[in-house]
Amino acid sequence: MLTISQSVVAVILGGGAGTRLYPLTASRSKPAVPIAGKYRLVDIPISNCINSNINRMFVLTQFNSASLNKHIKNTYHFSAFSTGFVDILAAEQTPDNPGWFQGTADAVRQSLRHIENLDFEYILILSGDQLYQMDFEDMVAVHKANNADITIATIPVPAREASEFGILKTDEKHNITSFIEKPKPDVLSEWISDTGAEMQQQGRVYLASMGIYIFNKHVLYKLLKEVYPDATDFGKEIMPQSIGKYNVLSYQYEGYWTDIGNIYSFFDANLALTEEIPQFNLFDNNRIIYTRARMLPPAKISGTTLEKTIIADGSIILASRLERCVVGVRARIGHGSTIVNAYIMGNDFYETLEVMAENVSKGIPKIGIGERCYIKNAIIDKNCRIGNDVRINGGAHLDNTDQPLYTIKDGIVVVKKGAILPDGFVI
């Protein structure tokens, strides 16, 4: 009998251009976006796989993939005595397919020729832009025990969220019997499911697809190559058309899960990590989130009041107060600054004292955040130079806009990667 590491190959979808996460995706793909101060989004599905004893992974990318390639190359090294790997499969033009990936199903179809030579029974298909901790080993065991052709991970959601997802109905054996993509509110009453007493008490009575799938190898190949050779998307085409023709199972997950689809959800998910007992547990001995080991010094903090704040390695913080903040690697924050409800992504390098002095003489702020700044409801992307006495006051009073140095979405000010805000700048 094959072990899970021998029987399963994981395919992680890197997503499209990531326009809803712009400007964080202006120069990087969605899976490469930094989260929680020291990780990248792609670390989440990869870590879930490693923790589930799945160690053969492909990451499919198309847009702005250079930083993602570098991160994966520098991070995931398996033993020479292991069959494990994390390989990047970038969209490529070939004589028989001159186009780029047209959707999730098309991306997997175009990549099959790189995967099919491996020995495996099941393909686990994952998204590269979700935050969750899930035991895929259990999901595979349920798939096998029920002789399923396809298993879809589902999560109970309340009515206010149901219209954002593909919603499913199941029979008493958890086989999926029907599917509707993003149902309108007036038909929701027809899609209520028995999600269990605990979920029903919370009003979570709709089964939503999480975009996490297990396929039997031969079923996936037949669907993509023979049955639906022109289908481009799993959620909109392959899954609805497979129900009733194949044994499609629902695997109900009830833990924390969020789709990092836009700036607001990204901001909210990061700041939620600062809660006393966050729903996403970075401190779990058995569900470690892996990332690149940077060999940085410990964070250094002087004269700062900290309230519900996460601080990553290598930071130098002299600020007056930080409240509900996530502070990334190598961040530098000057004297007298107050920062509230903010994600400071940090920096890729340190400046020497000589370089700092030279830049200041030219009127260029030091890398990081200067002195006496006030920043609220903001995301500061990497390698920004924010001068002294800068005020950024995000909130619902601000209109959405896109400027050369910053973008405002849903009241959240996003200072663009590498932006320079001079002394006294006000948003």
Instruction: Report the pLDDT value the prediction gives residue 244, as an integer from 0 to 100.
Output: 87
Provide the 8-state DSSP code for 100. -
Longest dimension (CA), the chain: 72
Stretch 123-152: mean pLDDT, rounded? 95
Q: What is the pTM of this model?
A: 0.93
pLDDT reading at 292 higher than 60: yes
Instruction: Report the pLDDT value the prediction gives residue 227, as an integer from 0 to 100.
Output: 86
State the Cα–Cα distance between residues 83 and 101, nearest whole angstrom: 28
Stretch 60-81: mean pLDDT, rounded? 84
pLDDT reading at 95 higher than 60: no
406-409 and 401-402 strand pairing: antiparallel
| Residue 339 CB neighbour total at 10 angstroms | 27
pLDDT reading at 358 higher than 60: yes
Stretch 223-249: mean pLDDT, rounded? 88
**Closest Cα to residue 132, out of 20, 268, 252, 281?**
281
Residue 306 one-letter amino acid: L
Distances (CA, A) of 39 to 42, 124, 394: 8, 22, 25
Please measure the distance between the N-terminal and C-terminal CA atoms of the chain and give it in whole angstroms: 62
Helix (H, G, I), strand (E, B) or coil at 31: helix
pLDDT tens readout for residues 3-19: 887 899 999 988 766 78
**Closest Cα to residue 368, out of 341, 354, 394, 388?**
388
Domains with residue ranges and CATH for the chain: 4-272 (3.90.550.10), 300-421 (2.160.10.10)
Tell me how far the alpha carbon of residue 89 is from its chain's centroid.
18
Instruction: Report the pLDDT value the prediction gives residue 106, as an integer from 0 to 100.
Output: 79
Which of 72-81, 301-310, 394-403 comes out lowest in average pLDDT? 72-81
- CA-derived radius of gyration, the chain: 23
- Which H or E element spans position 34? strand 34-35
Rounded to the nearest integer, the mean pLDDT of the chain is 91
Answer whether the bond into residue 404 is a cis peptide, omega within 30°.
no
